[in-house]
Amino acid sequence: MTDAEKPETPETKGATETTSGADVPPDHISVNPRSKWFDGEKLQRGIGIRFKGTERTNIEEYCISEGWVKVQAGKTMDRKGNPLTIKLNGPVEAWYEDLGDSPPVAKA
């Protein structure tokens, strides 16, 4: 089945798949200000994440090209007061939420 023959699902309806550009979120970003992957300006725009076909709001860090996300492991903290995270593998999609109903989606 080619891309043109695939039916539009709610997850892909109106979304444009791209890998780079000004309106596409970065490949790797973190919400932790101490991380080298933190970018406050891009996070303020609001980044939507879809992991394994489900929209998620509890993502601490993600990497689209490597196909993983980090989520907080309950309410446990390490000795420095940072939340403990676990790394989950699977397909990751990201988009800027401020672009409306059909934003460009970054996929691997």
17-70 pLDDT, tens digit per residue, is 655 567 899 999 999 999 999 999 999 999 999 999 999 999 999 999 999 999
Most confident of 5-9, 58-62, 101-105: 58-62
pLDDT at 46: 93
Work out the percent of the chain whose per-residue pLDDT is above 70.
81
Query: Does the model's pTM come out above 0.75?
Result: yes
Counting Cβ atoms within 10 Å, is residue 59 exposed (0-12), middle (13-18) or buried (19+)?
Answer: buried
Counting Cβ atoms within 10 Å, is residue 94 exposed (0-12), middle (13-18) or buried (19+)?
Answer: buried
